[in-house]
Chains A and B, each alone.
Chain A
Amino acid sequence: MNELKIPRINESIYHDRLENGLDVFLYPKDELEKTFAIFSTKYGSIDQKFIPLNEQEMVTVPDGIAHFLEHKMFEKEDGDVFQHFSERGASANAFTSFTQTAYLFSSTSDVKENVETLLDFVQDPYFTEESVEKEKGIIEQEIRMYDDKADWRLFFGTLGAMFEKHPVHIDIAGTVESINKITHEDLYTCYETFYHPSNMQLFIIGNFDLDEIESLVRDNQSNKSFEDQKEIERDYGDEPVQVHKQQEVIKMPVSTPKCMVAVKEKPEALQKEVLLENDLVRDIVLDLYFSKSGRYFEELYQEGLTIDTLRLEFVLEDSFGFTAVGANTMEPEKFSKRVKEMFLQIKDEEIDENDYERAKKKKYGELIREFNDIEGTANNFMQYNQMGLDFRDIFETLENLSLDRFKDNLSKWVSEEQIAICMVVPEGE
């Protein structure tokens, strides 16, 4: 395996790409009690149009299928996989995001057995017509539960306003209507295409024996056969730079209105060479202006336009990106107008050198602190690796980010056509 040093914190990760294409990262931390392992595929809710394995033509599958597939992976002919983990005192879970589906466990004993179970259950699909039908009711309940959550609706309302073609605007779980169209054949099509080892990564961090786990993973994988696969062709549509709608209003039973203002990224900001830097710039901008120590936050608070802390989000992926500021506010109209003005004026703001250095310090300290969180560390490395980037480079990128470079970056960021607004307001208004 290759040793990847992280000099800033005096630690190392070991990496190898196996013959079947699986990326394996092992990050031993002997001083901990716990081990966390995550097995993930670069396949999320946005991957609904693609060329299936061994076929020639693009197909479109029902919305919400990646999430549906995740649910069904735990069910096997002989029962529920969760049970094998819990018999060993371990806990297992899974999640589906826009761009990945991941299966994970944490344990403080029997690491070998748990890793073996993790690899085997994800690589052994078992879907039947009956079990797929049964699951529809459960997922329908999950979708309805999210339909009642105002913050969730606000977030997807904002995405819907920003994106016209790109499937990121579709709810991760799909709709009641779309999931009812899913068949077990569809699940196999998606599984065969996206769960090939060359599209997957395994990350194990915590207290385990490096050599022992390395050979376990290697043997486990070499005992299974996979046919070679080329790069998967996916279609995310031809998304224009400008937002789909400037404003979206959702009515639902809430006592306090909510509002979110978002900036859609230009495609050039998501290029591999600049993505890490842009990620940092967005993070620092939100901090400098909209966090509890931020100037705009103080203005919004004094003007009575936000009730508490702002909700800050930024996502930069290779096919889409955005930065958003949201709030619980009694005056969503005024809030959206002010925040929009703020986004547009950021590029002309004078930034004091000291303020900028303090924001960088904060970011640096946070990066160090984040390494305490082993789940977060694994996710960071995997998310960047999936885009062909190395998370370790973030330290150097941060150190090299001068104020001039930061300002130059901001000057190219926002124009009015990239801004979308979403409001959730009480019914009957």
Chain B
Amino acid sequence: MTILLAYIDPGVGALLWQSIIAAFVGLLFYLKKTRRWIVGVFRKMFGRGQKPPGVVVEIPAEETMKAKSNVR
């Protein structure tokens, strides 16, 4: 990592205010992560969103070709 040669005036009050907001947004980051985790758990419980591991849905080649020709 190169040394950062910051040469602009970062302000005083503005820098402190940015740090305070950063701390709050940091909390929000964990809240969002927690919410995402809870939603994931519920999805798993009710079987929505994710498919059980090991099940692969195969589409026959001729059906894929048919779908492509329909697009044209």
Asked if A pairs with B, the answer is no
Q: Which residues of B contact A (CB under 8 A)?
A: none
